Amino acid sequence: MNAFGVSFENLRWLPLLLAALIPIILILLDRRRARRVEWPAMRFLVRGDSARIRRLRRREALLLLLRTSVFLAVGCAVLRPVATFQSQVRRSASPHRSVALVLDDSWSLAYRETVEGGSSFERAKEAALEVLDGLAPGSQVAFLPVPGGRGGSASSLLELDAARRAVRDATLHGGSFELLDAFDRASELLAHLPDAPSKELYVLTDLMAAGKAEGGSVLPDESRLRFLRDRLASRGAAPALWIIDAGAAEPRNQFVASFALGSLAVGIGETTSLRATVEAVPEGFGPDDASLRLSVDGLFAAASQAKLDAHGRADVALTFRPREAGDRRVTVELPADGLHEDDEAGAVLEVIEKLSTLVVGASRDLNAAGTSHYVELALEPRAGAKSAPPTLFRWTSAERLTDADLAANRLVVITGLPRLDAEAAQRLESFVRAGGGLLIFASRQTDSASFTDLLYRAGRGLLPAAVLPRSAATTPSHPAIFAAHPSLAAFASPDDGDLARITVKQWTPIGPLAPDAAVIARLDGNAPWILEKRSGLGKVILVTTSAAPDDSDLPRTPLFLPLVHGLARYLGARDSASRAVVAGEPMRWRLPPGLTPAAGLRAVVLDPRGKEREASLREEDRALVAVDEATDLPGFHTIRIVADGKTVASTVYSVAFPAEESRLVRLRPEAAARLASGLGARILRDVREATGELVASTTRREIWPALLGLAAALLFAEQMLVRSFAPRRRDAPEPTSSAPRKGEHVQRGRL
C-alpha cells in the first residue's frame, strides 16, 4: 500500500455532525438548573474526600466522551465515508478493469508458418482469450468485430462469457484491415466501456502494411496520429494501448493474383484461352517457375509452368476445349504453401450450344438490296444448295420487335431499319439491361432523329453516341486506328486480315459520346467507325457504316465474316466478370424477365462448404435482383430461386480471394515504431507481457458499517459504565423474634 485517502459520498448531511454536541449541551443545561448553597460544614467533608471527588469527575468526563462519540460515529456513518487504497499489482490480477478488444479478421491472418502449426488468426484468438481469462467474473468487454456484423456501437459491449464465445466463433472475412482505422473504431468502443480505474485496448493483428504500399515503409501521417491520440484520450481516463503482433516474422507466399476468361462466346469443342497471373512475395522468393494446374468442374484439363521474373510475377496462358454446354466451373491451382486460400482461383465460363440471334431489318431476299441479307450470310455461310456447315449461330429474321422475339434470343442485330418506335425502344433497353447484346449498323435508311431521341436520350440511353444525318458527299476513307478489343482479335495481325485495305465511301456522322462509351475503331480521318457502350448487364455496339455494299466494299470481302462473328461473339457472351466478386463484396444477379415478386419466392445460396443461407430479393430498374451480402468465403457459390419448393432459376458465381491480402508485406520497424510512439501504444509479440506488468490498483472500501458497529459498542460500554457507577443498596436487618406481632406482616428477604 503506497497511498491512503478517505472521501465522503453524502456531504449534504455534514450538519448532522453537530449532534455530537448534544451530550455537552445537556450537561451544561443541567448544571445551570442546579442551585448552589454554601454550607460551611461541607468544607470539612470535601477537604477530607478530595480523591473521591476527582474519581467522580473522571467518571463523568468518560461518560460524556462515550456519549459524544456515539453521536459522532452515527453522523459519520450517515456521510458514507469510503477509504481508498492504492497498491502495485499485476494487471491481470486487478479486479477493476475495462477491456476493449479489436480482432483483425482479414484473410491475411490465414497464413501458417508451418503445415502443422496454427494460423496467425488462431494465435490472435488465443491471445484474446488469455486477456479475457484474466478478467473478474461479471466484467463487460467491448469487442470488434461484433458477432453477426462488423459495426462498432453499444451492441459491441458483451458479457464476459458472451465475449469468449464471440472470440471462439470469429471467422475471417473479406476486406482489408488498417491499423489507424482500427484505432479510430476503437475510440467508439471505449465510450461504451464501464467506468473503471484501468481501461485497456488490445488490437490483435498481423502487422501487415495497409495497402502493401512501398513494402510497408510508408510512415503514418503525424496529424492523423495526433488526432487519434486526442480522440482516445477524450474517452475519460487515458487507456493503456497494446498492439499484439500475431503475424509471421518472415511470411512467404505464392498466389494467383488474377484469373480472366475470354470475352467471346464459347461453343462446345472450341479452343478456349484463359489467362492467369501468378505472383510471389517477397519479390524473388520461391523457385524460378511454379506449376499451374487447370481444372474444369473438378477434372484435370491442362497444366503449365509459370516462369517468374525478377519481380516475382508471371503471366500464364492456358487452353482447353469444353465438351458440354452450360456453366462450367474453371479453376487454376498452385502447389499449397503457407496461405492455402489464395493458391486457387476460379471463374464461371458459360459454354453455349448455339448463340440465338435476331436479325431485324430489310428483307433478306437475294434479289433485294436489304442489308440483313449480308449479316445472315455471315452468321450462316452457305455452300450452294448444300446444307449449311455447322456454326455457333442460330438466327431468325423479323422486321418488328416483339417480347416473344427478344425472350428467345440473346443477341439482336439491327441493320437497315428506317425507324424505331417508343415501345420497341423500351423493349430493347430492358433486353440489354438484362444481359442481352445489341449490334446496330447505321445505314442511309436509318432515321437518325428517331434513333437519337429514343436510344441515345442525351447519353442516358443505349446508344454510345448521338446519330446525326448523313452529308451529301464524303471523301473515301479507310479503317486505320484500332483499340485492343476482344471483338477485333482476329485482326491483331495484318497477316490474318488487314482492314486498312477496305474502302469506306460513306458513313454516318455521330454527335457527342455518352459518358461511359468508347471508340473501338476509327477511320483514317479520325471519324469514329465502331463504338461500344455497356448498359446494365448487356453491351451495345454501333457501326457507323451499313452492312450492305452501298457504304463500303467490306461486305463483299472475306473480312466481313470474321468481323461480324467477332462483334456477335463479344455481344452474345455473358460477362464472366459480372458473376465474379472479391470476398466481402456483394453479389447481384439480375433475374430472368419472366420472374416477378410473388409470395413464396425465395433466393437461397449454397456456399463452397455446403451450407445454405438466404439472399434478398429487390426490385431495381424494373427488374428483380437477387443480392447476396455474405460473400466472405472464396470459392463457387450457387444461387437458386425457389418458388413453392421448386427451383425455377439458378446461377453460379465465383468469389475470389482479395489479392491485397495475399501480398504479405509486414510493416517496417521504423513505421511501426512511429505508429506506436504517436499513439502512445506498445507493440508486443506475447500478450502476457501486457497482462503481467505491474500497475497501480485502487481499492475502495465502505467505512460506514464499521462506524455503526463502533457506535453500538460505545453505547454498550456507556450502559455498563453507568451501571458500575450506580451506588450499591444494603440488605435490611433481620428482626429479633421470628414470631410476628399481632397486626404485622413480616416479609423475609432483601428489601
294 pLDDT higher than 90: yes
Between the CA atoms of 709, 713, 718 and 723, what dihedral angle is there, to the nearest 10 degrees?
Answer: 140
What is the DSSP-derived secondary structure letter of residue 477? B
Helix (H, G, I), strand (E, B) or coil at 537: coil
Top-level CATH class of 356-574?
alpha beta
Using the structure block, give the residue that is written with the C-alpha cell 465438351.
323
Mean pLDDT for the stretch of residues 546-560: 91
pLDDT in tens, 89-114: 455 555 667 888 999 999 999 999 88
Nearest alpha-carbon partner for 254 in 283, 233, 282, 279: 279
Q: Quick one: pLDDT band at residue 324, thresholds 50, 70, 90?
A: very high
pLDDT in tens, 397-419: 887 788 888 888 999 999 888 88
What CA–CA distance (Å, rounded) separates 541 from 338? 46
The alpha carbon dihedral of 518, 523, 527, 530 has a sign of: negative
- Which residues, 6 or more positions from 169, have their beta carbon under 8 angstroms from its beta carbon? 147
pLDDT in tens, 555-611: 999 999 999 999 999 999 987 777 889 988 899 888 877 777 776 789 999 999 999
3-state helix, strand, coil in the chain (%, to 5): 30, 30, 35
- What local confidence, expressed as pLDDT, does residue 39 receive? 65
- Which residues, 6 or more positions from 435, have their beta carbon under 8 angstroms from its beta carbon? 410, 536, 537, 538, 574, 578, 590
CA atoms within 13 A on the CB side of 575: 19
What is the DSSP-derived secondary structure letter of residue 454? I
What CA–CA distance (Å, rounded) separates 748 from 322? 131
Q: Quick one: pLDDT band at residue 152, thresholds 50, 70, 90?
A: very low
Nearest alpha-carbon partner for 68 in 28, 21, 16, 13: 21
Mean pLDDT for the stretch of residues 483-501: 85
Most confidently modeled range among 1-5, 88-92, 182-186, 672-676: 672-676
Between the CA atoms of 47, 49, 53 and 55, what dihedral angle is there, to the nearest 10 degrees?
Answer: 140
- What secondary structure does DSSP assign to 118-176, as a single string? PBHHHHHHHHHHHHHHTSPTT-EEEEESPTT----SGGGEEEHHHHHHHHHH---BSS-
Alpha helices, DSSP H, located in 559-668: 560-572, 659-662
Listed range (3-12, 492-501, 504-513, 589-598) with the worst mean pLDDT: 3-12
CA atoms within 13 A on the CB side of 271: 3
216 pLDDT higher than 60: no
Q: Quick one: pLDDT band at residue 33, thresholds 50, 70, 90?
A: low
Q: Quick one: pLDDT band at residue 40, thresholds 50, 70, 90?
A: low
680 in Cβ contact with 240 (< 8 Å): no
Angle at 63 between CA 62 and CA 66, to 5 degrees: 85
Specify the CATH architecture of the domain 577-656. Sandwich (2.60)
338 in Cβ contact with 350 (< 8 Å): no
- What local confidence, expressed as pLDDT, does residue 638 receive? 94
738 pLDDT higher than 70: no
Element (H, E) at 407: helix 403-407
Where in the chain are all domains bearing CATH 3.40.50.410?
89-250+665-692
Distances (CA, A) of 652 to 174, 487, 614: 19, 25, 15
714 in Cβ contact with 73 (< 8 Å): yes
CATH superfamily of 89-250+665-692: von Willebrand factor, type A domain (3.40.50.410)
- What local confidence, expressed as pLDDT, does residue 540 receive? 96
Using the structure block, give the residue that is written with the C-alpha cell 439482336.
412
Direct distance between the N- and C-terminal alpha carbons of the chain, in angstroms, rounded to an integer? 62
587 in Cβ contact with 637 (< 8 Å): yes
Where in the chain are all domains bearing CATH 2.60.40.10?
253-352, 577-656
Most confidently modeled range among 78-82, 609-613, 717-721: 609-613
621 pLDDT higher than 50: yes
pLDDT in tens, 14-30: 787 777 778 777 777 77
What CA–CA distance (Å, rounded) separates 296 from 272? 12
490 pLDDT higher than 60: yes
Element (H, E) at 186: helix 179-192
What CA–CA distance (Å, rounded) separates 485 from 518? 11
Sheet holding 479-482, edge to edge: 393-398, 355-361, 411-415, 437-441, 538-543, 528-535, 517-523, 479-482
Where in the chain are all domains bearing CATH 3.40.50.880?
356-574
What CA–CA distance (Å, rounded) separates 678 from 222? 7
Beta strand 289-296 with 299-307 is: antiparallel
All three cell numbers of 389: 456447315
Counting residues of the chain whose pLDDT is more than 70, the rounded percentage is 83
Nearest alpha-carbon partner for 122 in 165, 167, 177, 156: 167
What CA–CA distance (Å, rounded) separates 635 from 588? 16
What CA–CA distance (Å, rounded) separates 577 from 656? 11
Mean pLDDT for the stretch of residues 651-659: 91
Residue 743: φ, ψ to 5° = 90, 0
- What local confidence, expressed as pLDDT, does residue 263 receive? 87
Higher pLDDT, 730 or 55: 55
Tally the residues of the chain: 751
Is 253-352 assigned to CATH 3.90.1310.10?
A: no
- What local confidence, expressed as pLDDT, does residue 749 receive? 37
Beta strand 528-535 with 538-543 is: antiparallel
- What local confidence, expressed as pLDDT, does residue 737 receive? 46
Phi-psi region of 681 (alpha: psi -120 to 50; beta: other; left: phi over 0): beta
Higher pLDDT, 259 or 146: 259
Counting residues of the chain whose pLDDT is more than 90, the rounded percentage is 31
Residue 461: φ, ψ to 5° = -95, -155
Mean pLDDT for the stretch of residues 257-265: 89
Element (H, E) at 24: helix 22-33
- Which residues, 6 or more positions from 137, have their beta carbon under 8 angstroms from its beta carbon? 160
To the nearest whole number, what is the mean pLDDT of the chain? 82
All three cell numbers of 456: 441515345
All three cell numbers of 236: 475519460
What CA–CA distance (Å, rounded) separates 544 from 528? 7
